[in-house]
Amino acid sequence: MKIITKNAKVFGVLLLIVTIIVVIGLAIRFFQIAGTKQVDGHNLTSATRAAFIQNQQDPATRGKIFDTNGKVLADNTTTYNLYAVLDKTQKQGNKPLYVVDKEETAEKLSRIINMKRSKIYKILSQKNLKQVEFGTAGKNLSIAVHKKIEDLKLSGISFTAQPARTYPNGRMASHLIGSVQSKENATTGQTKLSGLMGIEAAENSLLSGKDGIKSYAGTTADGQASEAAKNGDNVYLTLNSDLQNTLETKMDKLFSDTKPSGIVAVLAEAKTGRVLAASQRPNFDPNTKKGLQDEWQNLLTQGAFEPGSTMKGITLASAIETGNWQPNATFQSGTMLVDGKQINDFNKEMGVISYREGFWRSSNIAFAKTQQKMGANTWYKYLKKFKFLQSTNSGLLGEEKGSIAFNYPLEQANTAFGQGISVTPLQMVQAYSAIANDGKEVKPYFVDKISEADTGKVVKEGKTEVVANPIKKSTAQAVRKEMIDVVNQKTGTAREFDLRDAGYQVAAKTGTAQIAKNGRYLDGLSNAIHSVVVLAPEKDPQYIFYMAITAPQKFVDTEIQVTMNKLYRPLMLQALNSSTKAVKSKTTKVTVPDTVGKSIDSAKHTLSNRGLRVAVIGSSGKIKAQSLNPNQQALSNQLIILTAKDGNTLMPNMTGWSLTEVQEFAKMANINLNWTGSGYVTSQNVSATQQLGKWSNITVKLKQKE
């Protein structure tokens, strides 16, 4: 029998008391933590949630790029990278998730991707690899190609998807609109698009938007902790797609005919600086980057070159402004010596002529002597006044400011006729705007506005900016008068650019600049930069056109100006013939009504009453879509294309339609389009009201308005 001593009893009582105290203390602490949710100053709820909550990036959608009338120039899409699983442990139940039949897989894939069957089979037959890819042939596959491969239901063939950019008009204004590149976030593994060049790069921060964060407590989204993504803003350019299409078509022909190293052309509004059309060759396809290796630079603002005699218009303006122009005085043309070195006229047989004639016949001697009268300091001051040797700050990245050799009298004389000084086309357009605008020099610009994609709120707006007043109104008018002679005189160098037969008097100046190589100027017309600047119409210029073609290797006409005119004339006439309408349209804007859900007749009646033209895809049922969104601003007489729910599409009467309108209808109606000419439709091979089937072929002929 066990005997419990007195000491043991005391110890037991003490142990019980201590235990009770500890339990009470723990209980108090427990209730304290439960009430305050604090441990040593740390928030227990936050710590627990931090261990339980997962954050996921919510990517912003990149903004779109539109032309001035709302036509999409850059949009978003998805591309796919193809891969094959070789790991035989990858199964879903008994279903294999790896490539089972390599021969069949190689055979079927070779019909779709740009890779031979044998090479695909070799890739699929590699040992000790769990997964393989197919190089460039399997990357950036379109939605259509992705679907074709998916439909094959090949075991072990799968894809990764990533955001991509699509450019519906392909090479159109490619260097100006630009392109993007994909960048992968090392932390999240997500791919994001970033502007590589052009407007895509210049406005990248606004186009990109801001990614959001989605927080999850377990599998439940935590709204309070999440931060919504702000989608990128939409950019509206000043480009007019109708004029741009004409320019692109004619540029292709000129580039093919003359085989030059490069061409650049730009048409801008003289009074505002808005660039309506601009292009260059070589260009590239921003969807594939094909052709980009031929020319990375945007020739509007980069690759500055010696302008040649188009600079004489600026020299003339400076001389008139400073009282150093004597149009009726005479001089001996042909050659002259400056510092013992010879300056030559292209035509050395002109003899003794007046300075006025020297301008219209483009005498280098006339302008070397004029520069000497002005003096080097005065001439240099006016070059700066006209904003040469500095960026136009157009907004495009990497814009060059040009350069000059101006240390010696010969160099100073050379710059007066456009040698020894380098400029960009945009600088020339800006400088000549002072001559067009009675002394006010305006900055060229490309962005009409940038607005929030979700709300339409304008966050940035392009506007006319007067950057200088280098000459008086009377001087500008006097220069334009002299430039008329360059066009109208029988020996004028710009006579090929005459538009009087179409009812327009224009003012122009041509240029032929020798190309320098290894410190010396090369001889021959194939080693020159041929350019022209035109102000139209002369009395109150609405447009400035500038074009330069570098080192043409083929001459298909008697003079290069004849060939250049084949691009200039249709483009300028298209702009001039629609200018009254365009001005009227700017003051006559209408709000697009919502016709979705209405009958065809009701929708047509509603739109016609708003002053809009209508074309319909389908012939029965309610309207299910319209080409312009409800409440969007449209120009009076603009074409709206409606899509009906049912019925066959009937061929509309396209007479008077622009090429852009015909292209949009063909795309929406799934028909094949061919065209000849430029401007507006004059005839069509399928008569109006004739039924069109899917992928029908139609051909239209276009012509400039007289």
pLDDT tens digits, one per residue of 104-118: 999 999 999 999 999
Least confident of 171-180, 483-492, 511-520: 511-520
d(CA 594, CA 629): 8
Q: Which residues neighbour 91 within 8 Å (Cβ) at sequence distance 6 or greater?
A: 97, 98
pLDDT at residue 3 above 60? no
Over 50: is that where the pLDDT of 43 sits? Answer: no
- Distance of alpha carbon 1 from alpha carbon 486, whole angstroms: 137
Phi-psi region of 254 (alpha: psi -120 to 50; beta: other; left: phi over 0): alpha
pLDDT of amino acid 583: 33
Is residue 616 within 8 A of residue 602, CB to CB? The reply is no
Q: Which of 51-55, 225-229, 443-447, 654-658 has the highest mean pLDDT?
A: 443-447
Q: Per the domain annotation, does 609 fall within a domain?
A: yes
pLDDT exceeds 80 at position 224: no
Taking the C-alpha atoms of residue 351 and residue 358, their distance in angstroms, rounded to an integer, is 10
Cα separation, 384 vs 391, in Å, equals: 11
Choice among 74-88, 361-375, 675-689 with the minimum mean pLDDT: 675-689
Whether 160 has a pLDDT exceeding 60, the answer reads yes
Final residue before a domain boundary, out of 582, 605, 623: 582
Farthest-apart Cα atoms in the chain, separation: 149
Confidence of residue 6 (pLDDT cuts 50, 70, 90): low
* 337 found inside a domain: no
Half-sphere exposure of 143 (CA within 13 A, CB side): 7
Quote the CA–CA distance of 243 and 659 in Å, as a whole number. Answer: 10
Name the more confident of 133 and 6. Answer: 133
Average pLDDT over residues 5-19: 62
**DSSP class of 579:** H
In a shared domain, residues 615 and 510: no
Tell me how far apart the alpha carbons of residues 447 and 65 are, in angstroms, rounded to a whole number: 10
Q: Decide if pLDDT at 680 tops 90.
A: no
Q: Are residues 309 and 431 in the same domain?
A: yes
Residue 19 lies in a domain: yes
- Give the torsion sign (CA, 196, 199, 202, 207): negative
For residues 83 and 48, state if they share a domain.
Answer: no
**pLDDT tens per residue across span 609-668:** 888 999 999 999 999 999 988 988 787 788 999 999 998 999 999 998 988 889 889 989
**200 and 99, same structural domain?**
yes
Report if residue 524 sits inside a domain.
yes
Count structural domains, the chain: 4
Domain match, 266 and 392 both:
yes
Q: Are strands 639-646 and 613-617 parallel, antiparallel or unpaired?
A: parallel
Q: Which pLDDT score, from 0 to 100, does residue 629 have?
A: 87
Distance between CA 610 and CA 592 in Å, rounded?
8
- Going along 131-208, which residue ranges are E strands? 131-133, 157-166, 179-184, 191-197
- Helical spans, DSSP H, in 153-289: 174-177, 198-202, 204-208, 241-258
| Pair (120, 262) in one structural domain | no
Sign of CA dihedral 680, 683, 688, 691: negative
pLDDT over 80 (residue 220): no
CATH number at residue 273: 3.40.710.10
Whether residues 288 and 430 share a domain: the answer is yes
Task: Round the average pLDDT of the chain to a whole number and report it.
Answer: 89
Of residues 642 and 55, more confidence is placed in 642
- Asked if 472 and 510 sit in the same domain, the reply is yes
| pLDDT at 702 (0 to 100) | 84
- Sequence-separated (6 or more) residues with CB below 8 Å from residue 697: 671, 672, 674
How confident is the model at residue 663, as a pLDDT? 87
Does the residue 136 lie in any domain?
A: yes
User: Does any domain span residue 358?
Assistant: no
> H or E segment at 7?
helix 6-36
Looking at the structure, do residues 314 and 249 belong to the same domain, yes or no? yes
The CATH number of the domain where 647 resides is what?
3.30.10.20
| 198 within some domain | yes
User: How far apart are alpha carbons 156 and 95 in whole angstroms?
Assistant: 10
Q: Which helix (H) or strand (E) holds 366?
A: helix 364-374
Are residue 254 and residue 137 in the same domain, yes or no?
no
Catalytic option among 309, 394, 433, 531: 309
Q: Which domain holds residue 686?
A: 588-703
Q: Which of 564, 582, 600 is the last residue of a domain?
A: 582
Whether residues 49 and 69 fall in one domain = no
Q: How far apart are CA 493 and CA 361, in angstroms?
A: 6
Span 333-347, mean pLDDT? 94
Domain assignment of residue 356, yes or no: no
Nearest to 70 by CA among 603, 599, 695, 661: 661
The reported pLDDT for the residue numbered 518 is: 86
Average pLDDT over residues 685-699: 89
307 plus 431 within the same structural domain: yes
Is 309 among the catalytic positions?
yes
